[in-house]
């Protein structure tokens, strides 16, 4: 959960600020933060959005991205975000495979499975 929290915060910072410096030609309206309305002001009510709403949305996205589930309701939309999400998916698969390898070793040490 802590990893998802920090990854969600980094994703928010990347989508809002850093990616414009990396890919300056990309349209800002395609950025994750603007596409999914996570920017600071709600257009309909002109009220600051709750930090809890942003954090929950970002943690949900980061958990589905790290676990390579990707339900499809939230997804990266700009070129920079797609590149970063591919890298994160590869890291997620690597970590998950390593954890499963360790889990299988523990199960086999108890005498299960053969």
Asked whether 31 and 81 are in contact (CB, 8 A), the reply is yes
Where residue 100 sits, what CATH number does that domain have? Answer: 1.10.287
Whether 114 maps to a domain, the answer reads no
Asked whether 59 and 4 are in contact (CB, 8 A), the reply is yes
Domain range for 70? 2-109
Domain count for the chain: 1
Whether 29 maps to a domain, the answer reads yes
The reported pTM is: 0.71
Whether 9 maps to a domain, the answer reads yes
| CA neighbours closer than 13 Å in the CB half-sphere of residue 105 | 6
pLDDT in tens, the chain (114 residues): 888 888 888 888 888 888 888 877 777 778 888 888 887 666 666 666 778 888 888 889 988 888 877 788 899 988 888 888 898 888 888 888 898 899 988 888 887 765
Tokens describing residue 49: 């959005």
Tokens describing residue 50: 């709750």
């Amino acid at each position: 959960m802590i990893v998802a929290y920090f990854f969600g915060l980094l994703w928010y910072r990347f989508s809002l600020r850093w990616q414009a410096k990396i890919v300056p030609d990309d349209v800002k309206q395609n950025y994750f933060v603007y596409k999914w309305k996570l920017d600071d002001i709600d257009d309909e009510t002109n009220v600051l959005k709750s930090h809890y709403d942003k954090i929950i949305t970002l943690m949900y996205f980061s958990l589905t991205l790290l676990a390579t589930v990707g339900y499809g309701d939230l997804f990266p939309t700009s070129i920079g975000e797609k590149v970063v999400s591919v890298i994160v998916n590869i890291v997620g698969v690597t970590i998950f495979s390593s954890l499963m390898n360790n889990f299988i070793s523990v199960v086999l040490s108890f005498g299960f499975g053969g």
